[in-house]
Each structure stands twice: as C-alpha cells, then as structure tokens.
Amino acid sequence: MVPEDNKSLQRPLSVARSTFMAEDTSDARIHSGLALRAAIGICPAAVVLLGLWPDPLVEGANAAARAFMAG
C-alpha cells in the first residue's frame, strides 16, 4: 500500500473509531418503544425461518419474476 492510500483511509477510519470505540460518558438509558422491540424480535426470527424454510420466499420470487416477464 502506498502512503497516499493510507492517508485516504485515515480520516474515515478515525471517524469510525471515535464513533464506535469511544468511552461511554453518559449514564442515560436508551428507551426503546414497542415497535423497535418488535422489529428486533421479528427480524432475527424471520432470518432463521427463511434459512430453515426458504421455499415460500423462492416460490414467491419466481412467481413475481414470471409475472414481470410475461407482462
């Protein structure tokens, strides 16, 4: 890697480091609503279900593709 490439990565990586790896200075709790909690529960469950049983999604995608190509 040449030095010019290193300098081009330095700024974005320093922003990411300060954002995600900074010490927590606040004692405030994060309040999440019912919609966020439901999304956090539904999304991983959907990923697991689609990983174990992908046929309905694949069949639906195939049907949509056939309808799109036919019309």
Q: Could you read off the pLDDT of 17-39 as tens digits, one per residue? A: 877 777 777 778 878 899 999 99
Q: Is residue 68 predicted with pLDDT exceeding 80?
A: yes
Domain membership flag for residue 47: yes
Domain membership flag for residue 52: yes
| Structural domains of the chain, count | 1
DSSP string, 21-41: SSPP---PPPP--HHHHHHHH
Domain membership flag for residue 1: no
Domain membership flag for residue 23: no
Q: How far apart are CA 56 and CA 67, in angstroms?
A: 16
Q: Give the pLDDT band (50/70/90) at residue 3.
A: low
- Give the rounded percent of residues in the chain with a pLDDT score beyond 90: 52
When pLDDT is averaged across residues 39-68 and rounded to a whole number, the result is 95
Q: How many CA atoms lie within 13 A of 13 on its CB side?
A: 6
The whole domain housing 64 covers: 32-71
Domain membership flag for residue 11: no
Q: How far apart are CA 25 and CA 48, in angstroms?
A: 36
DSSP 3-state of 1: coil
How much is the pLDDT for 34?
A: 95
Domain membership flag for residue 37: yes
